[in-house]
Structure 1
Amino acid sequence: MSGHEDVTRPVRPGGAGPDPQVAAALAARAKMERLLAASRVIVPVAAHALTGAPRDGRRPASAGAPGHEGHTKDAAQDAATLAVDLPDGHIALPVFTSAAAMRAWRDDVRPVPVEPARAAQVAALETDQLWVLDPGTRDLRLPRPAVVALAGGEAWIPSWRNEPVQAEVAAQLGAVEGVTGVAFAPGEGAELRVLLRVDSSGGMAGVAAALEACQMVMVNPAWGELIDTVELCPLPA
């Protein structure tokens, strides 16, 4: 599944207040959803024709001199020549919330407003169906299902708010021996954080076996159309 990964992270039970990391994730995701609803986003376009071969063969060949890529009349298409390498090896279309955020990333490009749907369509064809919002500052990855939905003019419900998706995930994880509870939150380093209450009465071997089984559930490629990345967070029981 493109971009899908599963990370297991321990979580300590906190006090009455919200987990600061979760609160930060919520604020970032709210910003992302507002951007998707906007009439325009900003993409970078190089001030001059770029030099270099297309990466992975996915960049359109230029009609100019060999090794050069010229501008087109499509700013989103031009922005694909500046695709960003993500830490997990995928590439994403750089999309910005402001010209200032773009200048903080690079000062040799100019900001061009485009319709979000067009930027999503280009990302779906020219990258790994991903956006990265404000690279260099926010570095917020827009999940693949969101980009695909936006490109097709469809509504997207984030997995951290999608009750049918959560119900199915909870049902499958709840069937794993040793799992006594499942909850959800926006991920810190992934799209979705899955909180697992695991019975520790059988010792660490039992906990490890339950977590391994949960990981096997979540790496199923069938989740790819609904969830981009997942982090499993076991809670002490």
Structure 2
Amino acid sequence: MRAALAARAKMERLLAAPTPFASDDGSADPAVTAALEDTGLERHLRLDRLWAALTAGRLIVPVAAHARPGRGAAGRADDSGRAGAPAREPRAEDPARDAAALAVDLPDGRRALPVFTSAAAMTAWRSDVRPVPVDPRRAARLAVVETDRLWILDPGTRDLRLPRPAVVALAEGRDWTPSWRNEPVQADIAARLDAVEGVVGVAFEPGAAVELRIFIRVAASGGADAAATMEACRRVMADPAWADLVDAVELCPLPERS
């Protein structure tokens, strides 16, 4: 009885604790909606605007109606919340951490934390979870610790993957500068690629479907093999050291000017 009363008192303290989202009605931030719907901007500028709006407000993460999934006698995971379902593990004091149990598997094999612009968008994805409003930096830290340092925005409707360098920078309390306008990052990439045999020039621009497009001018003479040169450049860009600085890139070979 004493333990039960203590647990109840603790829960009441947690419920009574002030939260900046106490009056949150679950609707989308108008600035975020405007950024998402601004189809007049090029992709990279639209993403810039969206990121600024997302990080200036709040996000919603999903939490199962009960605690993290348990396992029944047959060893099957069960997170349905139905009456009579197997007992769950105790919920963490920070309910947002339970959102990691609902991480989304991406086509490339990585896992991303699902984050939502509104409670309605979350319900469209799954009706058996409840919304928890969180500070974006808290959601970024959760993604870094519990997933592959990725967010997926409004899975089930928009399925928009946010760049990993942006999530990592937010988690660390830094401003995110995308690689298409990050001159120090570009200078480092150019130095590494210029060292590849057959490369005679490197240039950059925002990508149409990726964060950064890299133009590589390949020597047209001197015995250089263009295919081998490009393969060596791909190996350079596959270095894990770039992972937190540059999101997806596209390498575009160009012939040497005559």
Q: Normalising by structure 2, what TM-score?
A: 0.66
Q: Which residue of 2 aligns with 1:194?
A: 214
Specify which of 89, 99, 117 is matched with residue 109 of structure 2: 89
Moved more, 97-106 or 159-168: 97-106
| In the alignment, structure 1 residue 147 sits paired with structure 2 residue 181 | no
Amino acid at match of 2:230: L
| In the alignment, structure 1 residue 128 sits paired with structure 2 residue 123 | no
**Distance in 1 of aligned mates of 2:219 and 2:70:** 55
CA 137–185 in structure 1, closer or farther in 2 if over 3 Å, else same: farther
| Contact 2:116/2:122, CA 8 A, preserved across alignment | yes
Q: Deviations over 1:65-118 (max 9, x none)?
A: 976245444242121111111112111111112333323322222322100111
Q: Which residue of 1 aligns with 2:248?
A: 229
Query: SS of 1:160's equivalent?
Result: helix
| Contact 2:67/2:98, CA 8 A, preserved across alignment | no
**Distance in 1 of aligned mates of 2:156 and 2:219:** 41
Runs of 4+ in 1 over 6 A off after TM superposition: none
| Contact 1:43/1:75, CA 8 A, preserved across alignment | no
| Contact 2:212/2:248, CA 8 A, preserved across alignment | yes
Q: Which residue of 2 aligns with 1:210?
A: 229
Query: SS of 1:135's equivalent?
Result: coil
| Contact 1:92/1:130, CA 8 A, preserved across alignment | yes
Task: Give how far 1:29 is off.
Answer: 4.5
Amino acid at match of 2:120: A
Q: Which residue of 2 aligns with 1:99?
A: 119
| In the alignment, structure 1 residue 27 sits paired with structure 2 residue 46 | yes
**Distance in 2 of aligned mates of 1:132 and 1:43:** 11
| In the alignment, structure 1 residue 175 sits paired with structure 2 residue 179 | no
| In the alignment, structure 1 residue 43 sits paired with structure 2 residue 61 | yes
**Distance in 1 of aligned mates of 2:91 and 2:198:** 57
CA 147–24 in structure 1, closer or farther in 2 if over 3 Å, else same: closer
| Contact 1:77/1:122, CA 8 A, preserved across alignment | yes
Q: Which runs of 5+ in 2 are unaligned?
A: 1-38, 72-84
**Distance in 2 of aligned mates of 1:44 and 1:119:** 11
RMSD: 3.0
| Contact 1:75/1:114, CA 8 A, preserved across alignment | no
Amino acid at match of 2:63: V
Q: Normalising by structure 1, what TM-score?
A: 0.71
Number of corresponding residues: 204
Specify which of 97, 107, 116 is matched with residue 136 of structure 2: 116
Amino acid at match of 1:206: D
Task: Give how far 1:119 is off.
Answer: 0.9
**Distance in 2 of aligned mates of 1:96 and 1:116:** 11
**Distance in 1 of aligned mates of 2:231 and 2:225:** 10
Q: Bigger relative contact order, structure 1 or 2, given CA contacts below 8 A and separation 6+?
A: 1
Same amino acid, percent of matched pairs? 65
**Distance in 2 of aligned mates of 1:35 and 1:217:** 32
Larger Rg: 2
**Distance in 2 of aligned mates of 1:175 and 1:236:** 17
Q: Deviations over 1:141-160 (max 9, x none)?
A: 23333222222222222222
